Amino acid sequence: MRTVFLLLLVAFPALDIGSACEEARKKRDLLVRTKRRWVLSTIELEEEMIVNYPYFLSKMYNDKIQGQDFSFEITGEAVTEGYLAINGTSGEVFALKPIDREKYDCFHVIFDVYDTDTNQKIDKELAFDVEVKDINDNPPRFIQFPQTFTVSESQVEGYLGVQVVAQDMDEKNTKNSTFNITVIKQTPPEPKIQAKWIDERTVHLSFTGCFDYEKAKEYNITLEAKDHGTPPLSSTEIISLNVRDTNTHMPEFKKKEGSMKKEDLYLNGTLQFQTEVHEMKLYRDVFRFPVEDKDTPNTDGWRAKFFFISGNEEGIFKVETDPKTNEGIFSIVKEKNYENTTMIELKIGVENIEPFTKCVNGKLIKQDGKLYRPDSINVTITMIDGNDPPVFQPPKADVYEKEESEPGRVLFTPKVYDPDSSSFRFELVDDPANWVSIDEKTGEIKGTKKMDRESPFVDADNVYKIIIAAIDDGKPPAKGFCNVSIYLRDINDHKPQLVNNSLILCGNKNNKVMIPVQDLDADPYNGPFSFYFDDEEDEKHWTLEPAYGQQGGLVSLKPLPYGKYSIPLRMQDQQNNEGHETLEVVVCDCEEKNTCNVKKALSFSSWMSPAFAHKWPDRLWQTRDSGRDKTA
C-alpha cells in the first residue's frame, strides 16, 4: 500500500501517474479542474488487505485553517459504501474494511474544509482518487466448452471441431489475468489430443493419429486453465469424447448355412454361383448373396453395396440390396435374344455405402485396392436358347394405294426371317373393314373390296392399318407380327352437296342468305366451288353473290312476298365434278332470334299470289308463346 500526502499547488495541473483512475479523470471537465486551487494525486490501495481496520491511509491538510475552527469532510461512493472515513479534526483518512477490486477498481473522493462557526467552505472543493491495486485472487475459469461431443472413427487428424473459452477476472493485461490452457490428462492416452490457441482466451482441440472404435469408444479429456500470477491460480474441466463407429471392416460374401444348392460352390477359394434360365425372359430374385460385416448394424458402414466388376456390359443383370437382410438380390432385368445356348460369366463385388477406413499403427488407412480390396464372387448364367419367333423385315410396312381401286391386286408380300425354323404360316390378325385377304403360305395381301378413303376405318392421315402374323412350326409355336399401313390416295368420287337444304331469309332484315357446301374429297378435288342456277327463271328474282368460293351467297333482286321458294342449283368442284340439289328458301318476317312470325305468315297465306304459292315446309313457324314449332 502506498499513501500520498496532500500537496499545495497553485495554478499547476494535477499530477498524472497513469493509474486505473486515469479514464475517470479524463471524463471530468478539464477547465473546471485547472481553476481549482487544490488538486490531489492518486492514492493506491491494495485489494483484500489483511490488516487491522480502521487502517490509516493518508492525512489531509489545508494552510487556510490557521486561526480558525475547522472540520474536514470527504464524500463519494467509497464513503457511502463504508470503505473510507476521515477524522474531521486531524484530517486523517482511514480504510474501514477490505475492498474487492473486481467490484470496485477505483473511487473518486471529494475533499472539503468547513468553518465550524459559519459552516462555510474555507477553500474551493478538492478531489482525489483511490486506485485499488490488483492481487491474483481469481483463477481463470472455463466459460464455454462442450461437456460431451462425438467424433467419427474415420476423422482425419487435425481439428476436432471443438472450441474452449476461458476467462480471468483479474486486471487485464497483467500476469494475474494472463493464462494458458492445456490438456493435462486424457484417458485413453492415444490418439494424442492437444489444445491450440486461437486468441488470448480461446483454444480449439486437435489430435494426431487416429481413432479405433474397437479399442476405445469414449475418452475423458482434462483441461487446465492456469494464470501467470504469483502464486499462479488454475481451474480444470473434464470433457467427454465419444467415438462413432464407421466402416472399418470390409463386407465378405458367405455361404448360406446348411445350404447344399448347386450355386454354393468354391473354385480357387472364390464362392461360385451358377444357374440356367431361358432367354427373352425377365427373372426376379434369381440369387441372394448373403454377406457378413462386423461394423455396427444398420449404419452406412455396415450396409452392403453391390457392383459388377465384369460381364454386365449390356446391363442385362442387376443386383440390389435387401434393406432388411443386407443380402444382394440378383435379377435379370433386360431381355436378350441368343442365337445359341450361351454361358455368361459375371464377377460381382461388394463394398459399403460409407468409404472404408482403418486405424493401423496410429495412421488412418483408406481402401486402396492393395491391402484392402473388396470381396468378390463369380456367377455363371447359362442362357438357354428358346424358339424365337419369326421376324418380319421390316417389322412395319407402308403400302400406297388409290381409293376405290378394283379388288384382287396384290398389295404387299412380306419378308420373314426365323433363325430357329424354316417353315411358318401367315394369318391376318386385324382387318377392321374386311378389305383384304392373306395367303397362308406366302403372306401375300390382296384387296377384296374397294377401299374408301372417307371410311370411318381410315384415320386422319388417310391410313388404313392392318396387322399380320407369321407363326413357325416350333414347339411351342412362336409368333411374330408386322404392322402394315395402307396409305389411300384420294380420287374425285364425291360431288359437292348442300350442308343444309332448307334456309330462312328474313325479309324484314336483309335480302341475302349464305349457302354452305361440303365435299368429302380432299384437295384438289373439293372447293372452292362454282355456283349456278339450274333454272333460268330463278335469275329473274335471285342472283348468286358470291358465285365462287367455299360457300355461295343467294341474294333477292327485289322484295319478295313471304313464302317458300324452291331453287335448283348446280355446284362444281375444282375438277368440274358437278352436284345438283334444290335449295328450299323460306322468306318471312323474323323476330329477334331470326325465327319466323307465325301470325304474319298466316295472314299472308290468304293473299299470296299463285305464282309464288309453293309448298310450305313441314316445320317452319315458331310461336312466341310456347316456343314449339307449328305447321303454317
| CATH number of the domain within which 407 lies | 2.60.40.60
Domain boundary among 100, 133, 166: 133
Residues 293 and 212 reside in one and the same domain: no
Of 60-64, 130-134, 434-438, 561-565, the least confident: 60-64
Q: How confident is the model at residue 16 (pLDDT cuts 50, 70, 90)?
A: very low
**d(C-alpha 250, C-alpha 351), whole Å:** 6
Q: How confident is the model at residue 281 (pLDDT cuts 50, 70, 90)?
A: confident
**d(C-alpha 224, C-alpha 142), whole Å:** 9
Distances (CA, A) of 199 to 167, 170, 179: 12, 18, 12
- pLDDT for res 226: 96
Work out how many domains the chain is built from and give that number: 5
Q: Which residue has the higher pLDDT, 365 or 403?
A: 365
Residues 220 and 261 reside in one and the same domain: no
Residue 8 covered by a domain: no
Q: How far is CA 319 from the centre of its chain?
A: 28
Give phi and psi for 373, each to the nearest 5.
-115, 140
**d(C-alpha 572, C-alpha 148), whole Å:** 98
Cell 312476298, residue located: 561
Look up residue 248 and give its amino acid.
T
Residues 68 and 180 reside in one and the same domain: no
Cell 378413303, residue located: 453
Is residue 183 helix, strand or coil?
Answer: strand
Residue 537 covered by a domain: yes
Domain boundary among 325, 349, 384: 384
Mean pLDDT of the chain: 83
Residues 232 and 345 reside in one and the same domain: no
- pLDDT for res 335: 87
**d(C-alpha 61, C-alpha 6), whole Å:** 6
List the beta bridge partners of residue 346.
379
**d(C-alpha 354, C-alpha 348), whole Å:** 18
Residue 150 covered by a domain: yes
Cell 475517470, residue located: 24
Distances (CA, A) of 593 to 215, 493, 507: 98, 39, 14
Q: How far is CA 196 from the centre of its chain?
A: 40
Residues 522 and 620 reside in one and the same domain: yes
Q: How many CA atoms lie within 13 A of 238 on its CB side?
A: 7
- pLDDT for res 534: 87
Using the Cα atoms of residue 595, residue 599, residue 600 and residue 601 in order, give the sign of their dihedral.
positive
Element (H, E) at 284: strand 283-289
**d(C-alpha 556, C-alpha 587), whole Å:** 10
Task: List, as one string, the DSSP characters of 429-451.
Answer: EE-TT--EEE-TTT--EEE-S--
Residues 229 and 335 reside in one and the same domain: no
Look up residue 235 and give its amino acid.
S
- Residue 604 pLDDT > 70: no
Q: How confident is the model at residue 18 (pLDDT cuts 50, 70, 90)?
A: very low
pLDDT tens for 310-360 read: 999 999 999 999 999 999 999 999 988 787 778 999 999 999 999 999 999
- pLDDT for res 625: 33
- Residue 369 pLDDT > 50: yes
**d(C-alpha 90, C-alpha 93), whole Å:** 9
**d(C-alpha 133, C-alpha 176), whole Å:** 12
Residue 9 covered by a domain: no
| In contact, 523 and 575? CB cutoff 8 Å | no
DSSP state of 256: P
Residues 6+ apart with CB under 8 A from 281: 332, 335
- pLDDT for res 256: 56
Residues 161 and 100 reside in one and the same domain: no
List the beta bridge partners of residue 488.
401
Residues 299 and 401 reside in one and the same domain: no
Cell 480444470, residue located: 236
Distances (CA, A) of 487 to 212, 260, 458, 490: 77, 63, 9, 10
Residue 17 covered by a domain: no
Which structural domain range is residue 103 located in? 22-133
Residue 192 covered by a domain: yes
CA-wise closest residue to 383 among 429, 416, 345: 345
Mean pLDDT on 269-292: 85
Residues 414 and 434 reside in one and the same domain: yes
pLDDT tens for 150-163 read: 999 999 999 999 99
| In contact, 2 and 95? CB cutoff 8 Å | no
Residues 6+ apart with CB under 8 A from 31: none
Residue 306 covered by a domain: yes
- The reply to whether omega before 395 is within 30° of 0 (cis) is no
Residues 626 and 512 reside in one and the same domain: yes
| In contact, 195 and 162? CB cutoff 8 Å | no
| In contact, 37 and 127? CB cutoff 8 Å | no
Domain boundary among 363, 384, 405: 384
Residues 196 and 105 reside in one and the same domain: no
Write the burial class of residue 236 (CB in 10 Å: 0-12 exposed, 13-18 middle, 19+ buried).
middle
CA-wise closest residue to 280 among 374, 201, 388: 388
**d(C-alpha 497, C-alpha 367), whole Å:** 85
| In contact, 505 and 418? CB cutoff 8 Å | no
Residues 228 and 309 reside in one and the same domain: no
DSSP state of 255: P
Q: How far is CA 532 from the centre of its chain?
A: 70
Residue 10 covered by a domain: no
List the beta bridge partners of residue 113.
72
**d(C-alpha 443, C-alpha 393), whole Å:** 13
The three cell numbers of residue 84 are: 473510507
For the entire predicted model, the pTM comes to 0.51
The three cell numbers of residue 577 are: 365434278
pLDDT tens for 197-220 read: 998 899 999 999 999 999 999 999
Q: How far is CA 156 from the centre of its chain?
A: 31
Look up residue 58 and give its amino acid.
S
Residues 6+ apart with CB under 8 A from 323: 303
pLDDT tens for 79-132 read: 999 999 999 888 899 999 999 988 898 999 998 889 888 888 887 778 888 888
